[in-house]
Amino acid sequence: MNNSSPVLVTGGAGFIGSNFVLDWLSAVGSPLVNLDKITYAGNLQNLVAAETYSGYSFERGDICDAGLLHRILNHYAPGAVVHLAAESHVDRSLLGPGDFVQTNVQGTFCLLECVRAYLERLSPARRAEFRFIHVSTDEVYGTLSPGDPPFTESTAYAPNSPYAASKASSDFLVRSYVHSYGFPAITTNCSNNYGPFQFPEKLLPLMIANAVAGKPLPVYGDGRQVRDWLYVGDHCAALRLVLDRGRVGETYNIGGRNEQTNLDTVRLLCALLDELLPESPHKPHEGLIQFVADRPGHDRRYAIDAAKIERELGWRPAETFATGLRRTVEWYLANRDWMEQVMSGAYQHWIDRNYAARGAANQ
């Protein structure tokens, strides 16, 4: 990619998106255009530091708006797109799957079509350099049994939630454009991200917020669901490598090699909070754990085999789960004002709707 051409990031005000924007501006420093609709999970406060970079531009809008996409592509003339815009929470997809089909499927289709038209207007040299990075999830692969090997890039898709199905559909759309039109796309499938700026509907920030407030820590079912945890900074570094040296048409799985049960994860989090909040009236925080009715169709285990990206691009996660979790907890404790501002109004309404009907469950 030509460093004089900006990279266009969709969904750059969300959790992974804002981390990627800040990482890119700090590590690469070349121009970046951030397109975000600013839904409940998008937060421009995440990007205050980005405003100090002269090469940073923000555009508010929807990836389903073809007219807006054409204008942005023609005006900024990007040399790459990193497509992160997505509805991403399984529980929300169970309550309202239509939004996931609209953003993740229709939005990706609209973006592909607009970028395809844009590429036709580029010179052969610029077209050859252009890359489209489609960021997806390990949930498209379905669930694993305890003894199964981790997901690889050749694992058959078996999505089990509306969210996972919508992301699988978008993956297939991208694949079809590569094979049908020679579209210069690369797909990445990542495991569970965690770190700063994550909206507190997801497990770790929700547990941190509740524990600090002395509220119950709701753990689905028996808490033995296994997830592979990937620190968001490691994910951003992997995406930069894929953009720089990844092969067009390929898929790269990005995982942290950190399999943990949800219950063990929450217990480790509680132990950290006991250490970092020695005066907390809620110690030991593990006593706040409450088992609630399980999520419908809850996948039992995810695990990523990241050997391909490690072998081909030399990427390795820099954080262990212990170091990444500590960094994460410390960030949320140091940024409680951020937590308070995002945990208001619409968010609280959703929390009440999602958890009120579940109640406590037997361990």
Closest alpha carbon to 158 in 307, 321, 300 = 300
87, 42 in Cβ contact below 8 A?
Answer: no
Among 36, 62, 87, 139, the one annotated catalytic: 139
Look up 138 and say whether it is catalytic: yes
How far is the C-alpha of 112 from the C-alpha of 133, rounded, in Å? 11
- b/e map of 130-148 (b: 16 or more CB within 10 Å)? bbbbbbbbbbbbbbbeeee
Look up 310 and say whether it is catalytic: no
Look up 163 and say whether it is catalytic: yes
Among 36, 138, 171, 228, the one annotated catalytic: 138
Amino acid at 94: L
How far is the C-alpha of 92 from the C-alpha of 201, rounded, in Å? 9
Among 141, 163, 177, 332, the one annotated catalytic: 163
35, 61 in Cβ contact below 8 A?
Answer: yes
Cα separations in angstroms, 177 against 16, 180, 212, 280, 338: 25, 5, 47, 54, 40
Any idea which residues carry the catalytic annotation? 138-139, 163
